[in-house]
A and B are shown apart, each in its own frame.
Chain A
Amino acid sequence: MNALTGTLLVARQSFRRAFRGPRVLWLGLVTLLPLLLALLQSSHRRGGDFETFAVTTLFFTLQAIVPFLGLMLGVSIFGDEVEGRTLTYLFTRPLPRPVFYVGRLLGMGAAFAIVVGVTTWGATLIYGRNLDLAPSEVRGAVAAAVGGFVAYLAFFAALRVLFRRALFVGFILAFMFEGAISKLPQGNVGQISIWHQSALIFLRGMEHRELDPEAIESIGSEETAGEAWRVLVAVFLVSTAVGAWFIHRRETPIPAATS
């Protein structure tokens, strides 16, 4: 079995296993949050006020839910094998070590991205009943959520390979660093954040609407959704390559007697 076949096999196994275990339960609950908010709001609100409300709720999904899920699931992509001490089974199979990392990232990432995409799509459709959303606007919202999520997932998965306390470091990066730089004026370092790119994709999809100016403060007028996609793809590829490289050199955790 070559590395590519091995990666696809691990990806398939991981995709199937992604929906088993307690992780799925809370993943489901968190991803359902925008959907539930949409249901609640759409049954009580009508008119222009609702538009701002709906869009900021979707924006909240990108700003809070997507990085949160990306962080929690990203660190568990390989962290589960380390903490569960099952790495020993994988590292004694006749496959290069990065196969397990990349395969798990692709398989679990695809499974979770589907969940994020479906729930964002559901929430957007519910709002869309009152907002008269065009299909391109729905697609933009779903793409922004999925794109941002996958980039976060790969980034935090790599972070877990590099740091034992990746959850802590990741939390600071996702919710403090990204939050702070996104508040800076146009054409600034905010552009380096994943949040900025997914917000850009989302906002370009709803360009003709009157949106909350605070939310779009950091988005430059010349920035395009295509550029944002290029950055997200680059984040995914570079993070995956870094994670795979470090896994290639990785040993199993040290025996308990010596630790």
Chain B
Amino acid sequence: MIAGFERVAKWYGSVVGLVDVTASIGPGVTGLLGPNGAGKSTFLKLLTGQLRPSEGSVRLLGLDPFLKTEVHRRVGFCPEQDAFYDDMSGREFVQHLTRLHGYAGGEARRRAGAAIERVEMQDAAGRAIRTYSKGMRQRIKLAQAIAHDPEVLVLDEPMTGLDPLARRKMADLLQSMAAAGVTVLISSHILHEVESLTRTVLLLHQGRVLAQGTIEEIRSLLDRYPHRIALRSPRARDLARALLELPGVIGVEIGDGSVAVEARRPDEVYDRLPALVLEAGIPVDALEASDVSLDAIFEYLVA
């Protein structure tokens, strides 16, 4: 076990951050999932020793991360908040923070350069951070977290603000680090973001651990509950009739140029839908999986 929470609670005055959380993080990549306000940031701040639990105990690499700050030598943290020393360039920022890991000036410079290269920021590294786009800021935050070659990398919503290509690149980088033996814990409120990185997830909701396991296990749990898919078509009635023939579809609702489908196995609907509409010659203008958001998943699980 790399990290563990034992009956951890965290309150901010009367506001609850986490309640009775027991969880363990093993090697590899783990996704920390939950809607906004679920307690993900609190979880990660407790894990990285920035907060002290109100109750229970947190262990990271066998140590209490709040009291034993030396554990940070082996841990990299990429915060969610968009906070920087704006008077610095990206290179100065990474170098400045790498120096605080105890590296001499030359070594810190070399490590900062290597990390900046890994996140593909070498061309803009000399520019002031205040001139960076959101995606560039995310990447420079990641660079400061990996410059000291941590054994454990903790990332709080690192994909926010990245375009699809940059997301792909970051996912590749994180996967290559995981393949090299780094334990990665990544938080997100977007399921597919995490799905592209790992099968192991920890679900948080309203400060509690809702489920921990593989995505398959959680999906099978979810398959007990119907999913809603919304489609728009000028031939809504014909589309509804055709959809009812698909396995797993348990009901349809016809509106003005729209059809709402309730399905127990939505993946099958997505797989068969293109062939179905092509064969029947029914035009489909839009498709929206209206309740595959994490919020909806949590609602199902809580129910």
Q: Please tell me if the beta carbons of A1 and B102 are within 8 angstroms of each other in the complex.
A: yes
Whole-angstrom CA separation of A254 from B107 in the bound complex: 34
Q: Please tell me if the beta carbons of B48 and A259 are within 8 angstroms of each other in the complex.
A: no
Q: What does the 1/0 interface line of B223-255 toward A look like (CB < 8 Å)?
A: 000000000000000000000000000000000
Whole-angstrom CA separation of A21 from B52 in the bound complex: 33
Q: Please tell me if the beta carbons of B50 and A88 are within 8 angstroms of each other in the complex.
A: yes
Verify if A17 is at the interface (C-beta below 8 Å from B): yes
Minimum CB–CB distance for A41 against chain B, Å:
36
Verify if A151 is at the interface (C-beta below 8 Å from B): no
Hey, which chain A residues are within 8 Å of B71, CB to CB? 94
Q: What does the 1/0 interface line of A68-90 toward B look like (CB < 8 Å)?
A: 00000000000000001110111
Verify if A208 is at the interface (C-beta below 8 Å from B): no
Whole-angstrom CA separation of A10 from B102 in the bound complex: 11
Minimum CB–CB distance for B109 against chain A, Å:
14
Hey, which chain B residues are within 8 Å of A86, CB to CB? 83-85
Whole-angstrom CA separation of A5 from B52 in the bound complex: 26
Hey, which chain B residues are within 8 Å of A9, CB to CB? 99-100
Hey, which chain B residues are within 8 Å of A224, CB to CB? none
Hey, which chain B residues are within 8 Å of A1, CB to CB? 101-102
Verify if B69 is at the interface (C-beta below 8 Å from A): yes
Q: What does the 1/0 interface line of B162-185 toward A look like (CB < 8 Å)?
A: 000000000000000000000000
The segment from B73-81, B131-139, B260-268, B271-279 that touches chain A is: B73-81
The segment from B1-9, B35-43, B281-289, B290-298 that touches chain A is: B35-43
Q: Which of B41, B85, B96 contacts A255 (CB 8 A)?
A: B41
Q: Please tell me if the beta carbons of B69 and A97 are within 8 angstroms of each other in the complex.
A: yes
Q: Which residue of A lies closest to B102 (CB)?
A: A1
Q: Which residue of B lies closest to A103 (CB)?
A: B100
Q: Please tell me if the beta carbons of A258 and B17 are within 8 angstroms of each other in the complex.
A: yes
Q: Please tell me if the beta carbons of A96 and B69 are within 8 angstroms of each other in the complex.
A: yes
Q: What does the 1/0 interface line of A1-31 toward B look like (CB < 8 Å)?
A: 1000110011001000100110000000000
Interface residues of A in 203-259 (CB under 8 A from B): 251-252, 254-259
Q: Please tell me if the beta carbons of B100 and A252 are within 8 angstroms of each other in the complex.
A: no
Q: Please tell me if the beta carbons of A6 and B83 are within 8 angstroms of each other in the complex.
A: no
Given contacts A20-B87, A85-B83, contact A93 B50 (CB under 8 A): no
Hey, which chain A residues are within 8 Å of B48, CB to CB? 92
Hey, which chain B residues are within 8 Å of A255, CB to CB? 17, 41-42, 45
Q: Please tell me if the beta carbons of B49 and A91 are within 8 angstroms of each other in the complex.
A: yes
Verify if A95 is at the interface (C-beta below 8 Å from B): yes
Minimum CB–CB distance for B41 against chain A, Å:
4
Q: Which of B42, B79, B87, B99 contacts A258 (CB 8 A)?
A: B42
Hey, which chain A residues are within 8 Å of B84, CB to CB? 86
What number of A-B contacts does a CB cutoff of 8 Å give? 82
Whole-angstrom CA separation of A259 from B71 in the bound complex: 28
Given contacts A255-B42, A258-B12, contact A94 B99 (CB under 8 A): no
Minimum CB–CB distance for B35 against chain A, Å:
10
Whole-angstrom CA separation of A152 from B83 in the bound complex: 29
Q: Please tell me if the beta carbons of B81 and A88 are within 8 angstroms of each other in the complex.
A: yes
Q: Please tell me if the beta carbons of A6 and B100 are within 8 angstroms of each other in the complex.
A: yes
Hey, which chain B residues are within 8 Å of A93, CB to CB? 69, 72, 97, 100-101
Verify if B221 is at the interface (C-beta below 8 Å from A): no
Q: Please tell me if the beta carbons of B72 and A92 are within 8 angstroms of each other in the complex.
A: yes
Hey, which chain A residues are within 8 Å of B102, CB to CB? 1, 5-6, 94
Hey, which chain B residues are within 8 Å of A91, CB to CB? 49-50, 69
Q: Please tell me if the beta carbons of A88 and B69 are within 8 angstroms of each other in the complex.
A: no
Q: Please tell me if the beta carbons of A17 and B51 are within 8 angstroms of each other in the complex.
A: no
Q: What does the 1/0 interface line of B79-120 toward A look like (CB < 8 Å)?
A: 101011101000000001101111000000000000000000
Whole-angstrom CA separation of A21 from B48 in the bound complex: 30
Q: Please tell me if the beta carbons of B51 and A251 are within 8 angstroms of each other in the complex.
A: yes
Q: Please tell me if the beta carbons of B50 and A13 are within 8 angstroms of each other in the complex.
A: no
Hey, which chain B residues are within 8 Å of A90, CB to CB? 100
Hey, which chain B residues are within 8 Å of A5, CB to CB? 102
Whole-angstrom CA separation of A206 from B12 in the bound complex: 55
Q: Please tell me if the beta carbons of B83 and A95 are within 8 angstroms of each other in the complex.
A: no
Whole-angstrom CA separation of A5 from B104 in the bound complex: 11
Q: Please tell me if the beta carbons of B83 and A84 are within 8 angstroms of each other in the complex.
A: yes
Whole-angstrom CA separation of A1 from B97 in the bound complex: 14
Minimum CB–CB distance for A123 against chain B, Å:
29
Whole-angstrom CA separation of A251 from B67 in the bound complex: 11
Q: Which residues of B come within 8 Å of A, CB atoms? A: 12, 15-17, 36-37, 41-42, 45, 48-52, 69-73, 75, 77, 79, 81, 83-85, 87, 96-97, 99-102, 144
Closest 4 CB pairs of A and B: A1-B102, A85-B83, A94-B73, A252-B50
26 interchain pairs, CB-CB under 8 A? A5-B102, A6-B102, A9-B100, A13-B96, A13-B99, A21-B87, A84-B83, A88-B77, A88-B83, A89-B83, A89-B144, A90-B100, A91-B49, A91-B69, A92-B50, A92-B72, A92-B77, A93-B69, A93-B100, A94-B70, A94-B72, A252-B50, A255-B45, A257-B37, A257-B41, A258-B12
Given contacts A1-B101, A92-B72, A94-B70, 8 further A-B contacts (CB under 8 A): A9-B99, A88-B81, A91-B50, A93-B97, A94-B72, A251-B50, A252-B45, A258-B12
